[in-house]
Amino acid sequence: MPGMSSGVSTNNPTIVSAFRSLLLHEALIAVVILALLALAWNLLRAVQLRRARAGALPAGAWPYPEAAGRRLLRIAFGLIWIFDGLLQAQSSMPLGMTTQVIEPTAASSPVWVQHVVNAGATIWSNHPITVPASAVWIQVGLGVLLIVAPLGYWSRLAGMASAFWGIVVWTFAESFGGVFAPALTWAFGAPGAVVFYSLAGVLIALPERTWSSPRLGRTVLSVMGLFFVGMAVLQAWPGRGFWQGQLGHDATPGTLLGMVQQMSATPQPVFISSLLASFAAFDAAHGWAVNLFLVVCLAGVGIGLLARRASVARVAVCAGIVLCIADWVLIEDFGFFGGVGTDPNSMIPMSLVFIAGYLAITRVPAMNGAPVAIPTALGDGSSFWTRLASRPAYALRAAAALAAIGIIFIGVVPMAAASMNPNADPIIAEAVDGPPGVVNTAAPEFRLVDQHGATVSLRSLGGKAVAVTFLDPVCVSDCPLVAEEFRQADGLLGATARQVVLVAVVANPVYRARAYLVAFDRQEGLQRLSNWHFLTGSGSELSRVWNSFGVQVAFAPGGAMIAHSEISYVIGPTGHIRYILNSNPGPGTQASKSSFAVVLASELRAVLRSS
């Protein structure tokens, strides 16, 4: 029968087209924001030039020049956020993020972690266009804000925003970085890439005077040193499958080998998969030596970062960079070439953090004059509006920062609205079954008996909107899902449900007794709906109704279930069919069921409004 086995693939053209269309529309909004701020900047520049000719521009300099380590974090993580945002724009992201990234990541974590992660995954699944597009603009906006705001309140705001969003991503997209999973290891990216995004954001959000002494750099290197030593101990812990390339006589891959083989099998450029395959073969033959080397390197880098001497720390930083790059290439598979890559994984962000810590102890910025107790955005006591009107550089940076914040809000506002809407978007049902067919023809008359023994005809339902579908009461696959969709639609209608009747006609010529209908209703929770009628009749009566509505019914081989057309009709109060819906439940996920319920409720409201 039509539509009996359709589903939603990650490259579904309806979803992909809608996602690209929304990104384009939001890009136009971003262009408008940039144009308005460019106009504002030109007006401010005219004021500044006039004040400059009159000699009214005040002197003064920021007393805390930006430290080299802070600049590295700000610009590098700004570029990484932008890169991550562009990765979020992949056409496979709307439907592939939950199935290929979030769910596999959470699968090995405890049940409570899966419940937490599921809350975020449900929002993404219910709104597969809005939420992915929002993630693009939030991350691009964060990156731009970090880059254009080098000092002052704007820059510290960028750091705080980056830290906050990093925690959100770490929790819901990375399942807490896998820190609660049994195979926790530095080699696989623990404790998660976005932890270092957040750590960098916190360091950027600190007052600039914090970077004016080596103390902050020593603290960062000490924290990273303890982290590396802890990861070395974890890597050396026996019984976790890292000391063997292969386990047992059946050549079962060890933990590290299994990860590398899995990454090499991911669709990606040939030269990368070949490199991974070569390393996998080497680890299979020399698993003990590979793990020993990894443990010694992690411990050595950690001890070096804990050292108080800058020369020792320099060696440890260089060794850490080499180790991270090797892991990034040979184990983490670069993070974004294969599958649904969302970031470059943890090694690059991790390296940036301890490099910044080293720079913070070796390149302390020189002071521009005596520091003030509570520095302002420009180092003087002038007000914000005075600085905006008189400082060309400050005005330009403020305009650029406002533009970046505007880009962030292009994503924040729709995502906030989506997170508060528990109902799935109609686009999912459209992706499964296509859009509803719009017609205006007289509905066929029927006269059958419902599950309570009452006679129901189309004429008796006049004055109300009617949704008609066809269900097999002994079906255990699609029909229960369709019934649940109708029940959800009734709940979405609220008070409007009093003007709506939901009707199902038996689509089984054998199992059509009222006892089967009552059992089906009880199983699906439909007995509580006062406006629900499950209709049956004699074989000839049912055949006439099936034929009049164009429904095909045939015995399915090997069982009592019946193969039948999955189709629903929305009939207006005047007795005319207004919409025809393909009611195939497709993958039968909560999102797809909720989406069809939203569509059905929407069309029922539409026929009531137009009557």
- Summarize pLDDT for 543-571 with one digit per residue, the tens: 999 999 999 998 766 666 678 999 999 99
pLDDT tens digits, 504-555: 999 999 999 999 999 999 999 999 999 999 999 999 999 999 999 999 998 7
Q: CA dist 583 to 188, 491, 563, 570, Å?
A: 43, 18, 14, 12
Asked if residue 411 and residue 430 are part of one domain, the reply reads no
pLDDT tens digits, 23-76: 999 999 999 988 888 787 677 666 656 655 555 545 444 556 789 999 999 999
Asked if residue 243 and residue 139 are part of one domain, the reply reads no
Helices 152-172 and 68-87 cross at an angle (nearest 10°) of 50
d(CA 128, CA 589): 13
Does residue 406 fall inside a structural domain? yes
Q: Tell me what pLDDT residue 253 has.
A: 76
Q: Tell me what pLDDT residue 446 has.
A: 94
Asked if residue 393 and residue 432 are part of one domain, the reply reads no
Q: With cut-offs at 50, 70 and 90, classify the pLDDT of residue 366.
A: low
More confident residue, 360 or 277: 360
> Quick one: residue 453, left, alpha or beta (phi over 0 = left, psi -120 to 50 = alpha)?
left
**Confidence check: pLDDT of 17 > 90:** yes
Q: Which of 151-155, 172-176, 327-331, 422-426 has the lowest mean pLDDT?
A: 151-155
Asked if residue 144 and residue 222 are part of one domain, the reply reads no
Does residue 227 fall inside a structural domain? yes
Residue 509's domain comprises: 426-610
**Confidence check: pLDDT of 359 > 90:** yes
Mean pLDDT of 422-446: 93
Does residue 64 fall inside a structural domain? yes
Does residue 6 fall inside a structural domain? no
Does residue 4 fall inside a structural domain? no
Does residue 531 sit in helix, strand or coil?
coil
Asked if residue 392 and residue 483 are part of one domain, the reply reads no
Q: What percent of the chain has pLDDT over 70?
A: 86
Asked if residue 331 and residue 274 are part of one domain, the reply reads yes
Does residue 352 fall inside a structural domain? no
Residue 359 backbone phi and psi in degrees, to 5: -65, -30
Q: Tell me what pLDDT residue 1 has.
A: 38
Mean pLDDT of 367-384: 44
**Confidence check: pLDDT of 293 > 90:** yes
Q: Which of 79-93, 194-208, 255-269, 570-584 has the lowest mean pLDDT?
A: 255-269
* Paired tokens of 196: 């270092």
Q: CA dist 440 to 576, 579, 580, Å?
A: 6, 8, 10
**Confidence check: pLDDT of 95 > 50:** yes
Asked if residue 561 and residue 436 are part of one domain, the reply reads yes
Q: Tell me what pLDDT residue 279 has.
A: 81
**Confidence check: pLDDT of 292 > 60:** yes
Asked if residue 268 and residue 241 are part of one domain, the reply reads yes
d(CA 495, CA 500): 10
Mean pLDDT of 355-382: 62
Asked if residue 556 and residue 416 are part of one domain, the reply reads no
Asked if residue 552 and residue 431 are part of one domain, the reply reads yes
Q: Tell me what pLDDT residue 285 has.
A: 83
* Helix spans in 88-128 (H): 93-97, 103-107, 111-126
Asked if residue 567 and residue 478 are part of one domain, the reply reads yes
Q: Tell me what pLDDT residue 59 has.
A: 46
pLDDT tens digits, 461-505: 988 999 999 999 999 889 999 999 999 999 999 999 999 999 999
Does residue 353 fall inside a structural domain? no
CATH of the domain at 455: 3.40.30.10
**Confidence check: pLDDT of 357 > 60:** yes
Mean pLDDT of the chain: 86
Asked if residue 287 and residue 340 are part of one domain, the reply reads yes
Q: What total number of domains does the chain contain? A: 3
Q: What percent of the chain has pLDDT over 90?
A: 57
Which residues, at least 6 apart from 500, have a Cβ–Cβ distance to it below 8 Å?
464, 465, 466, 467, 490, 493, 531, 604, 608
Domain termination residue (choose one: 384, 399, 422): 422
d(CA 508, CA 562): 6
How does strand 500-506 pair with strand 465-471? parallel
Does residue 56 fall inside a structural domain? yes
d(CA 113, CA 85): 25
d(CA 67, CA 80): 20
pLDDT tens digits, 257-282: 777 777 766 666 677 777 777 887 88
At 158, the amino acid letter reads: A
Q: Which of 364-373, 417-426, 595-604 has the lowest mean pLDDT?
A: 364-373
Q: Tell me what pLDDT residue 383 has.
A: 52
pLDDT tens digits, 557-611: 666 667 899 999 999 999 999 999 999 998 888 899 999 999 999 999 999 998 7
What is the number of other CB atoms lying within 10 angstroms of the CB of residue 292? 15
